[in-house]
Amino acid sequence: MSYQVLARKYRPQKFSDVIGQEHVTRTLQNAIAQDRIAHGYIFSGHRGIGKTTVARILAMALNCRSSEKPVAEPCGVCDSCTEIRNGNSVDVIEIDAATNRGIDEIRELREAARYRPARDRFKIYILDEAHQITDAAFNALLKTLEEPPSHVIFMMATTQPEDIPQTIRSRCQHFSYRAMKFDDIMGQLRDIVAKENIPADEDALALLAEAGDGSMRDALSILDQAIASTSDRLTADAVRSLIGSAPAAALETVMQAVAEGSSEKILVLVDELIGEGHSPTHFARQLVRFLRNVTVAKIAGKDSPLLQVSSDERARAGRIADLFSEEDLTRHLQIMLRTHGELGYRQEQRFHLELGLLKMAHAQRLLPIEQLLSDAAASSSLPARTAPRPVLASPTEARRNEPPTSARPNSVSPFAADSARKGTPKAEAAAGTSGSSANLVVMGSAAPAVAEISPDPRYETAITVETGLAPSQATAESLRNAVLDALGDQPMLVSLLENAEWTLNGNALIARAAASATMIEMSITSEARRVASAAASGLAGRPIKMQVEPGGAQPSATAPRRASISTATSNGSARIRAEQDPIVQRMKERFGAEIRTVIDYREKG
């Protein structure tokens, strides 16, 4: 007799033998016991997890001759069960839908379904890889599947249920199979090697279960190959050499080199692996899985059931998890996922693998923006205007000792920081970024005060400015003068705001101007609002939001005028100043407007 592979030799013959799919087998057994047998079933799920096997067991249970009616568990010894198990039953027809996918084959099936079974209770059609059937063939089967003869039952197995038309799925009972758990595969492998009298290490079986990737059939196929490749004991090294995996110690060594930031050591390790014949794509895939396990060990602990690996792999993942923060591991996993995706279609795979590993090493040298801002805030208390750059023992040590997120300074948009620098050209600015935010520092001779403001709803800007006022000393009048000084290059806007009614309500500086809402919206741009909020926040020493509202009183003849603004705008006629105003120029460009009358409220005052 020819050799029978393990996947066929130990194929389940009863519902109780099926592992990992209790939700399917229990439902089918209850349906048989309650005489609620459907005329159509769809079994979908991962490859090698028992879809066709359960279909055969169900066919045996429905046609078992040990009872006058279908049984919840087939006997396995009667003529019907034996013929179905051997695949030569005349009333249970298995069809490979990948090759019998056309409308002509479905027409023949439909004609044959009209005849009663030769011996058994039901004529059963098992369609494997049913998603391969064409749409036209499915349409030809539609009526027969919806109202089949009482003696016909259809069972369809597929790995891609989404490719089966909804009209077919709605006429069948759909059972979704689950990928098998690591522990279930391990238990089955232990039983099989014990029955086969094959000595095997636990680590070797763990590698086989992991290589199966949720498929019992894949794990048994690799076990068959591993048994043939060794003459005595099945070891982890033999299995790893067979499937082409890099040693687990190599993965740990690579991540240790990343933690140390040693680019040379990384390149040497890659050269050794490539020299031994390891595939860059397969190694990248291994490293992705390893980083996932390390991340889980960091978050949930190395003893978490989320880790579907052996005890040695758990310990290894725990050791590497101690070297990195959760943020580092997330970044490294993202880098390797991108690298693994690129290796599938890029030339010079070795170079791309090396580049991905070097990216992880360089990422270790990046300091968190929160830590830089914290160091900058600490150095601002020194008498000198500049402070030396902080020296860290190592990037990894710095990340482990960094303050918690809740204690870190706020960070803001680099675009807002750049705009703030343009709005205050005399300030000396330095910006730091973190994600989509940045910090703008304007240093002066006095001790700086930190304020977080929101001048524009699209971003936030944190500004450190020179101020001689304590937060409690800021008044609406002082903030008004600061805002008008900051807007001195926009005379028309200054004219609008100078005679407004200014009030300070908490962190909101409100100016009620004698103008309509439309006029205010056209006059005050987001840039002007940002500059005004920054100036007010800098003077107050806390976040101040600038608001301009209509409803102010008309300017009076005794309204105070600011000498600095009057001096700055006294050159030239009022018409020339109006023509040079950016708002007027914008209106002339967009609407073809022209200036007819110019009223200078400064001269009237």
Give the whole-angstrom CA distance, residue 491 versus residue 190. 86
The pLDDT of residue 457 is 41
Q: CATH assignment of 182-243?
A: 1.10.8.60
Q: What angle do CA 569, 571, 572 make, to 5 degrees?
A: 110
User: Is 359 exposed, middle or buried, given 0-12, 13-18 or 19+ CB atoms closer than 10 A?
Assistant: middle
Q: Where are the domains of the chain?
A: 6-176, 182-243, 248-363, 369-380+407-465, 471-604
The pLDDT of residue 173 is 93
Give me the DSSP letters along 53-70. HHHHHHHHHHH-TTSSS-
Superfamily for 6-176? P-loop containing nucleotide triphosphate hydrolases (3.40.50.300)
> What are the contacts of 332-335 at 24+ separation with CB within 8 A?
332/258, 332/291, 332/360, 332/363, 333/288, 333/291, 333/292, 333/295, 335/359, 335/360, 335/363
* Strands 545-550 and 508-513, sheet pairing: parallel
Give the whole-angstrom CA distance, residue 589 versus residue 213. 66
Q: Nearest to residue 71, comparing CAs of 15, 21, 32? A: 32
CA distances from 45 to 29, 124, 196 (A): 20, 21, 29
Give the whole-angstrom CA distance, residue 283 versus residue 251. 9
Classify the C-alpha dihedral 243-249-254-255 as positive or negative. Answer: positive
Q: What is the pLDDT of residues 4-35, one digit of tens each?
A: 899 999 999 999 999 989 999 999 999 999 99
Extract the residue ranges of the chain whose pLDDT is less than 50. 384-396, 398-400, 402-472, 556-572, 604-605
Q: What are phi and psi of 300, to 5 degrees?
A: -105, -5
The fold for domain 248-363 equals Zinc Finger, Delta Prime; domain 3 (1.20.272)
Q: Nearest to residue 491, comparing CAs of 579, 604, 558? A: 579
Give the whole-angstrom CA distance, residue 20 versus residue 215. 11
Using the CB atoms, write b or e for 564-597: b if 16+ within 10 Å: ebeeebeeeeeeebbeebebbeeeeeeeeeeeee
- Percent of the chain at pLDDT > 90 equals 28
